[in-house]
Chains A and B, each alone.
Chain A
Amino acid sequence: MEVFLQTLVAGILKGGLYSLIGMGMSLIMGVMKIINLAHGQLMMVAMYITFACFHFLGLDPYLGLFIAMPALFLLGCLIQKYTLNPLMEVETILPENQVLMTVGIGMVLTEIARFIFTSDYKSVQTSYSGATFFIGETSFSVALVIAFFIAVLFTLIMFWFLLKTDIGRSIRATAQDKDAALLMGVNAKRITIITFGLGSALVAAAGTLLMPIYYLFPDIGGPFTRKAFVITILGGLGSTVGAIFGGVTLGLAEAFGATYIGMAFDDMIGLIIFILVLLFLPGGFKRLTKI
């Protein structure tokens, strides 16, 4: 029982962070209809910002959120405005080229990080990095619990933003039908820029929240891009609610897989679910909800 509970807790806490990672990608997927393959690399950039703030300014990683998120929002906007949008305007270029562009951006970001910070492993050691509390026999990592609740908070803010604000409505409108949105007077180009910025800021939050418990090196982006991709597919392309389900599902699947099948199959379990969903539930968990 102890093993089961500990696994469940581990899965849900990790799932919270995964949701945050997946949500950013889903948002971008929904509006631009492209997979952002630089997603993990953007997260890496945010992690380096947090690391630099901690290392040079002594700023707590949670306060680093307030620097990393706006910075990544800006970076995301710039990427969309100056690298992705120009590609969209060229008629002969396929939309796939934007995806290729994101791959290139990812590589450039990785190598810039390597140039500045070298390949060394970095980590942020805070007083609460290794802190735990016990409920019964189950151990909770303080940093992961905080990360989980902040992730939930961001998710709620995100929903409020999408449902209640003008820009949020415009984003949803563009995602549903770009041409109709244009006809209704939505500045679609501006919306794509804001969306990419938001997606980047969300993954920046996830990266920053990971910092106290995880570590950092320039090539860390790739695996997270892959995770985000799986989550986005699980959730149903472009669905933010779906991304939350997708994230938690992936977190739980990995945790239970690690305990009851074997941790060596960590990645495989996620990808098997990925294939099963594609086969039997194309459209992902979005199919099961109405939002």
Chain B
Amino acid sequence: MKKFIIVFSCILFLMGAMLGSASAADTIKVGIVLPLTGKLAKFGEIENKSFLMAVDEINAAGGVNGKKIELIIEDTTGKPDVGRSAIEKLITQDKVPVIGGGYSSSVTWATIAVAQQNKVPFLVNTGSADKITEQGWEYIFRLNPPVSEYPGGFASFVKEVATDLKTVAILHENSLFGQKGSKKFVKQAQSLGMKVLMKEGYEAGAIDFKPLLVKVKSKKPDLVYMISYIMDASLLMRQAKELNFNPKLFVGGAAGFTLPEFHKNAGKAAEYVFSATLWTPSVPYPGAKEYYDKFVAKYNTPTEYHGAEAYAAMYVLADALKRAKSLTPKDIRDALAATDMMTVFGPVKFISYGKKTQQNKLPTFLVQWNNGKLETVWPKSIATKPYVYPVPKWNER
């Protein structure tokens, strides 16, 4: 029996070695961490499809210096602890020289520490809590703007158009993303001369938001600013309509409010809702519209800014791999740091400003639902439709 075990393990070992060497020769492994199951699976899927679409295109065009890119996608299930073991597996078992993905701030925060410790570069493309790039960690890069900059486009809109907004109520999902985003928005609102009447978190997935909304309604704010994911967003709007709650403006802070499902689920309650967004198919970047059309043609379902982030991130990774002196994590890191390219998500260049390091800086836009379509309304230069403000009351529509 003992002999058998020894022989067996030898065979296993040899097989493992053979398999390992066979696949290592002609492909470059890139690790991706995304939530493919769990409650964030919807967005994980969009990003997953975009990554795969981008990598197919890159490989079809000859790959990276003749080598094909092989994606190893690990499921984080949207939980920090699972994300941590997923990235550990990528680094120690698959030995990937570079990692992409990173959805949800909480999970990303847990995973980047592992990447930094092991000195493997990690290009975050969605996790948006500010602190992710505020650690001075030289192996962590971020493609998307941090959550505090999401309302940038909205701020200029308030200064120039909606000057009569004096008070604001902030509702946010009780997650790292929601907490950080709302805290930053409090400061932003104050600097815009608005008084913050209340700031309340809620547990994602609630059935009934009415108790919360009644409380907000009784404070009579001019502006309701919400940081919510898609289904909470549609329930919030539907129930606000049910309560006949009419602030001057409903604004969603990115995330859920720009997805087609939001309108599908909220129906009429979605009309005229504003949202800050990082990307729409109408942004003035080369390839943005083409990416959207290709995605719809291939998967027969619409995509949105998360997908664009993932798609752009794959091209940034491929570009860095092309320029890297060798395929060691260290050289890839240096190549990433020197990135200066145009993507469907906008120009990418990792710079340091404020407390942040290796952070890409991008403008944000304001969109509004109008007749079932998401129209870019601000800045005016790229608007697809003029904005509707002030917004008509529910019973006057």
Q: With A258-B202, A258-B212, A263-B212 known to touch, is A119 a contact of B41 (CB < 8 Å)?
A: yes
Q: Scan residues 219-249 of chain B and give those whose CB is less than 8 A from a CB of chain A.
A: 230-231, 234-235, 238-239, 241-244
Min CB–CB distance B244 → chain A (angstroms)? 7
In the complex, which residues of chain A have a beta carbon less than 8 angstroms from the beta carbon of B261?
Answer: 120-121
Q: Does B214 contact A (CB under 8 A)?
A: yes
Interface set of B (CB-CB < 8 Å, partner A)? 36-39, 41-42, 44-45, 174, 200-203, 205-212, 214-215, 218, 230-231, 234-235, 238-239, 241-244, 261, 264-265, 267-269, 301
Min CB–CB distance A212 → chain B (angstroms)? 11
Query: Which residue on B lies nearest to A7, using beta carbons?
Result: B211
Which 6 pairs from chain A and chain B are nearest by CB? A264-B201, A119-B41, A263-B202, A266-B203, A258-B211, A264-B174
Q: Mark A252-282, 1 if CB is under 8 A from B, else 0.
A: 0001101100111111000000000000000
Min CB–CB distance B66 → chain A (angstroms)? 36
Query: Which residue on A lies nearest to B201, using beta carbons?
Result: A264
Which segment, of A154-162, A178-186, A214-222, faces chain B? A214-222
Q: Does A223 contact B (CB under 8 A)?
A: yes
CA distance A265 to B206 in the complex (A): 11
In the complex, which residues of chain B have a beta carbon less than 8 angstroms from the beta carbon of A132?
Answer: 242-243
In the complex, which residues of chain A have a beta carbon less than 8 angstroms from the beta carbon of B205?
Answer: 220, 223
CA distance A125 to B268 in the complex (A): 11
Min CB–CB distance A225 → chain B (angstroms)? 13
CA distance A213 to B230 in the complex (A): 15
CA distance A277 to B353 in the complex (A): 53
CA distance A120 to B41 in the complex (A): 8
CA distance A264 to B228 in the complex (A): 13
In the complex, which residues of chain A have a beta carbon less than 8 angstroms from the beta carbon of B268?
Answer: 130
In the complex, which residues of chain B have a beta carbon less than 8 angstroms from the beta carbon of A114?
Answer: 37, 41
Q: Of B38, B39, B211, which is in contact with the most chain A CB atoms at under 10 Å from its CB? A: B211
CA distance A144 to B238 in the complex (A): 13
CA distance A210 to B212 in the complex (A): 20
User: By the criterion CB–CB under 8 Å, are A14 and B265 in contact?
Assistant: no
CA distance A263 to B211 in the complex (A): 8
A121: which of B208, B215, B231, B238 is its contact (CB, 8 Å)? Answer: B231
User: By the criterion CB–CB under 8 Å, are A219 and B200 in contact?
Assistant: no
User: By the criterion CB–CB under 8 Å, are B41 and A264 in contact?
Assistant: no
Q: Does A85 contact B (CB under 8 A)?
A: no
User: By the criterion CB–CB under 8 Å, are A210 and B265 in contact?
Assistant: no
Query: Which residue on B lies nearest to A269, using beta carbons?
Result: B203
In the complex, which residues of chain B have a beta carbon less than 8 angstroms from the beta carbon of A120?
Answer: 42, 261, 301
User: By the criterion CB–CB under 8 Å, are B202 and A215 in contact?
Assistant: no
CA distance A2 to B209 in the complex (A): 15
User: By the criterion CB–CB under 8 Å, are B215 and A139 in contact?
Assistant: no
Q: Does A118 contact B (CB under 8 A)?
A: yes
In the complex, which residues of chain A have a beta carbon less than 8 angstroms from the beta carbon of B241?
Answer: 130
CA distance A265 to B45 in the complex (A): 30
CA distance A261 to B103 in the complex (A): 30
Query: Which residue on B lies nearest to A251, using beta carbons?
Result: B208
Q: Mark A99-111, 1 if CB is under 8 A from B, else 0.
A: 0000000000001
B202: which of A14, A139, A264 is its contact (CB, 8 Å)? Answer: A264
User: By the criterion CB–CB under 8 Å, are A259 and B215 in contact?
Assistant: yes
Q: Does A10 contact B (CB under 8 A)?
A: yes
Min CB–CB distance A139 → chain B (angstroms)? 5
CA distance A267 to B211 in the complex (A): 15
Query: Which residue on A lies nearest to B241, using beta carbons?
Result: A130
Min CB–CB distance A235 → chain B (angstroms)? 20
Additional 16 contacts, C-beta under 8 A, given A11-B211, A111-B37: A10-B211, A119-B41, A119-B42, A120-B261, A123-B264, A125-B264, A125-B267, A129-B267, A130-B268, A139-B243, A215-B235, A219-B41, A220-B205, A263-B201, A263-B206, A265-B203
Q: With A130-B238, A262-B200 known to touch, is A119 a contact of B214 (CB < 8 Å)?
A: no
Q: With A125-B265, A215-B231, A264-B174 known to touch, is A259 a contact of B212 (CB < 8 Å)?
A: yes
CA distance A223 to B37 in the complex (A): 15
